[in-house]
């Protein structure tokens, strides 16, 4: 009988709303198998060989070479990561099908494994292993690097040495170390190593880290705030207070977590309570605010907490009614500290049913901005005339940030309902929605750039909805003028929305609209074609230029078929199909035969985009990929 241990490290997440790495979890199982296995997440870099020469002495070298010392440590981490992956590949290949399935079951959901093992998960994993063993190993290595127990311990020891080497360089190395937590290093192991080194360095890292909160790189700001919130010494007070008002939601959230750790003795009781109450209207900080008030709040916080308890909708975002229950629990904690009576309500009562339409409308008008936004998102499921008109009214009344959510949801409500029996919006109300969003898009004030971007994008969504249902729209020419006048704006979000709008207009046909006219196409190409020459053009830019349909773009689009990023290759192939230039056929044929990215698990791949483009150029009606994906079936790409 052998013990199977699971060691989990930190891996940087790519979710826009949460820069926090998943927490490491451990589980131990007594298994009747011949091997002892140590599993480790791949991005937690461990090494087998000793560190490269000079790492142990990095802290005593000249301060002028500190950046080079840091680079050397991370370069060594990259080499050792590759070594571990190579060793792990050999190890996984040596396992039997049953053992490999057991490893897959643990890696995919370690937090869900029961003491006697998750038999159902293992059975499903075994089926996959027996069907395509090599693909399973390849996919597994994206997340974990399993090894034998002895090798795993050696790797762990060497990795710890790299953390210590960085931490021992001291505060002067913080700028060079912290840069490894930015967007440039996304997808590498550097974030984890940098974070652990900074935390090990302790309070000395706080001062140098404060400059990260003003960096242009949002990921760097969020990750810096995460480390500061963990260190959270008294010297971090001022920087965390400043970070609580940062434009990045992730930074604000980490700042509130840090302020909660410091507590009222450092922050001041009244000031801390006021900060937490203010952030009850910040949807990204709602949980941290409620938890802070549960620990430190006084009776002044009860009324705003009651609003959350009463109005917070049970929705697809909060299926268990967690916010309502957390608010209830915080109120009880405050009353208990005040020596006043309170009533315990079990959490199940907050999640017994979905909110009704009337309850959502009431929540969408409540005093709390975060709850209003949540309710407005939930109203997207009710795609009917009354919902659209309700949201048009909210469009006139709301202010940021809820206004932006109203704009987005208004566009979504215009789409066809998911239920076949539901009629959706009438043609009259689709026009009303289009007019309201178009009016919101017609602003040139710099402070309204986010509103303009959201409104252009949502207006494009309505155009798409009208096209699907064959509804004629008045005002499409005005929308085209807005797009043409905004393609070169400084705001990146506005430009990105215009790319989508270009695509929407390019797909429109009577009675919805006439698409782009010849002189308009020329204007778009003149403004956007130079941007296609950048090393990493936005894929929405590529898409919209495809719908503009100018064959002068073919040579550059063919070049982009060899781009390192899968979305760029895929959208370039689709754009060539829209343009219809036969000169692109040889390159598309090679792509269709050789590109490594193809249809998998319901995801449309590069090969399929190339095949569809070939069919379009040859005048063959393309396969409806979207319907095939919705049916979760692999489309038939042949005749």
pLDDT single digits (tens) 223-260: 999 999 998 888 889 999 999 998 888 999 999 999 99
pLDDT at 57 over 60: no
pLDDT tens sequence across 269-307: 999 999 999 999 998 899 899 999 999 999 999 999 999
| Structure confidence at residue 310 (pLDDT) | 87
| Structure confidence at residue 112 (pLDDT) | 41
Q: What is the total residue count of the chain?
A: 639
Q: Give the confidence band of 63 by pLDDT, cuts at 50, 70, 90.
A: low
Beta bridge partners of 31: 2
More confident residue, 421 or 53: 421
pLDDT at 61 over 60: no
Entry pTM: 0.70
Mean pLDDT of 600-622: 77
pLDDT at 93 over 60: yes
Q: Which helix (H) or strand (E) holds 570?
A: helix 566-579
- 428's CB contacts (< 8 A; 6+ apart) are none
Cα separations (Å) of 452 from 234, 307, 443, 456?
42, 31, 6, 6
As a CATH number, domain 528-639 is 1.25.10.10
More confident residue, 49 or 208: 208
Q: Are 171 and 200 in contact (CB under 8 A)?
A: no
Helices (H), 168-248: 174-178, 190-201, 206-209, 218-231, 237-243
pLDDT at 554 over 80: yes
pLDDT tens sequence across 97-114: 888 888 888 776 644 444
**What are the phi and psi torsion angles at 176 (to 5°)?**
-70, -40
pLDDT at 14 over 50: no
| Structure confidence at residue 294 (pLDDT) | 95
Instruction: Find, among 584, 574, 527, 577, the residue nearest to 554 by Cα.
Output: 584
**What is the rounded CA–CA span in Å between residue 173 and residue 63?**
9
| Structure confidence at residue 565 (pLDDT) | 87
| Structure confidence at residue 129 (pLDDT) | 85
Q: Give the confidence band of 511 by pLDDT, cuts at 50, 70, 90.
A: confident
Mean pLDDT of 585-607: 79
More confident residue, 205 or 64: 205
**What are the phi and psi torsion angles at 632 (to 5°)?**
55, 40
pLDDT at 457 over 90: yes
**What are the phi and psi torsion angles at 211 (to 5°)?**
-65, -20
pLDDT cut 90: percent of the chain above it: 45
pLDDT at 52 over 60: no
Mean pLDDT of the chain: 81
Mean pLDDT of 493-512: 86
Mean pLDDT of 154-176: 91
**What does the block give as tokens for 512?**
């919805």
Mean pLDDT of 618-630: 48
| Structure confidence at residue 195 (pLDDT) | 93
pLDDT at 180 over 80: yes
pLDDT tens sequence across 363-406: 999 999 989 998 999 899 899 999 999 999 999 999 988 999 99
Q: Are 538 and 503 in contact (CB under 8 A)?
A: no
pLDDT at 26 over 60: no
Instruction: Find, among 256, 201, 191, the residue nearest to 224 by Cα.
Output: 191
**What are the phi and psi torsion angles at 613 (to 5°)?**
-65, -40
pLDDT at 156 over 80: yes
pLDDT cut 70: percent of the chain above it: 81
pLDDT tens sequence across 350-374: 765 677 899 899 999 999 998 999 8
**What is the rounded CA–CA span in Å between residue 605 and residue 567?**
9
**What is the rounded CA–CA span in Å between residue 26 and residue 12?**
18
| Structure confidence at residue 479 (pLDDT) | 94
More confident residue, 615 or 144: 615
Helices (H), 442-553: 449-469, 476-486, 492-507, 518-528, 539-548
pLDDT at 119 over 80: no
Instruction: Find, among 502, 445, 447, the residue nearest to 479 by Cα.
Output: 502
DSSP label at 620? Answer: P
Q: Are 29 and 3 in contact (CB under 8 A)?
A: yes
**What is the rounded CA–CA span in Å between residue 169 and residue 177?**
10
Looking at mean pLDDT, say which of 5-9, 190-194, 369-373, 403-407 comes out highest.
Answer: 403-407
């Amino acid at each position: 009988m052998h013990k199977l241990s699971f060691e989990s490290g930190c891996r940087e997440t790519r979710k826009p709303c949460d820069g926090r790495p998943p927490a490491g979890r451990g589980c131990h199982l007594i298994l009747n198998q011949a091997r002892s296995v140590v599993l480790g997440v791949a991005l937690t870099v461990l090494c087998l060989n000793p560190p490269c020469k000079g790492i142990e002495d990095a802290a005593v070298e000249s301060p002028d070479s500190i950046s080079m010392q840091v680079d050397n440590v991370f370069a060594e981490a990259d080499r050792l990561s590759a070594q571990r992956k190579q060793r792990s590949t050999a190890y996984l290949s040596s396992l039997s099908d049953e053992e490999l399935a057991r490893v897959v079951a643990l890696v995919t959901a370690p937090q869900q494994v029961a003491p006697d093992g998750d038999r159902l998960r293992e059975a499903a994993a075994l089926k996959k292993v027996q069907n395509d063993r090599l693909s399973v190993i390849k996919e597994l290595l994206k997340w974990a690097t399993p090894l034998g127990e002895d090798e795993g311990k050696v790797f762990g020891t060497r990795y710890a040495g790299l953390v210590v080497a960085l931490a021992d360089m001291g505060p002067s190395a913080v700028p060079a170390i912290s840069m490894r937590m930015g967007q440039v290093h996304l997808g590498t192991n550097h974030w984890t190593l940098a974070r652990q080194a900074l935390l090990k360095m302790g309070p000395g890292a706080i001062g140098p880290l404060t400059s990260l909160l003003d960096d242009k790189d949002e990921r760097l700001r969020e990750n810096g705030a995460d480390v500061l919130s963990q260190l959270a010494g008294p010297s971090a007070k001022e920087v965390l207070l400043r970070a609580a008002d940062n434009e990045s939601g992730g930074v604000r959230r980490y700042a509130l977590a840090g302020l909660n750790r410091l507590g009222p003795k450092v922050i001041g009781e009244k000031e801390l309570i006021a900060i937490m109450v203010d952030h009850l209207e910040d949807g990204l900080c709602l949980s941290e605010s409620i938890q802070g008030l549960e620990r430190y709040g006084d009776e002044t916080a009860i009324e705003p907490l009651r609003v959350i308890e009463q109005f917070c909708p049970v929705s697809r975002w909060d299926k268990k009614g967690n916010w309502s229950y957390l608010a209830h629990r915080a109120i009880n904690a405050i009353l208990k500290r005040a020596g006043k009576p309170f009533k315990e309500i079990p959490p199940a009562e907050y999640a017994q049913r979905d909110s009704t339409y009337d309850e959502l409308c009431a929540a969408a008008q409540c005093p709390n901005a975060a709850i209003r936004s949540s309710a407005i998102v939930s109203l997207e499921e009710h795609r009917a005339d009354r919902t659209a008109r309700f949201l048009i009214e909210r469009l006139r009344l709301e202010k940021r940030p809820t206004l932006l959510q109203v704009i987005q949801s208004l566009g979504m409500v215009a789409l066809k309902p998911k239920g076949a029996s539901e009629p959706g919006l009438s043609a009259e109300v689709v026009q009303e929605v289009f007019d309201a969003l178009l009016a919101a898009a017609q602003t040139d004030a710099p402070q309204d750039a986010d509103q303009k971007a959201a409104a252009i994008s949502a207006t494009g969504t309505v155009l798409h909805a009208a096209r699907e249902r064959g509804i004629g729209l008045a005002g499409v020419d005005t929308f085209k003028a807005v797009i043409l006048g905004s393609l070169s704006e400084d705001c990146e979000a506005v430009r990105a929305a215009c790319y989508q709008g270009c695509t929407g207009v390019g797909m429109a046909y009577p009675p919805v609209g006439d698409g782009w006219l010849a002189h308009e196409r020329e204007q778009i190409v003149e403004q956007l074609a130079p941007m296609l020459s950048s090393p990493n053009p936005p894929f929405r830019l590529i898409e919209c230029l495809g719908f503009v349909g100018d064959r002068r773009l073919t040579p550059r689009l063919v070049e982009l078929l060899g781009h390192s990023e899968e979305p760029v290759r895929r959208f370039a192939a689709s754009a060539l199909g829209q343009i219809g230039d036969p000169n692109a056929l040889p390159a598309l044929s090679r792509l269709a035969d050789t590109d490594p990215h193809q249809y998998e698990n319901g995801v449309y791949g590069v090969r399929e985009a190339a095949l569809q483009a070939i069919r379009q150029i040859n005048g063959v009606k393309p396969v409806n990929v979207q319907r095939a994906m919705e049916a979760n079936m692999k489309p038939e790409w042949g005749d």
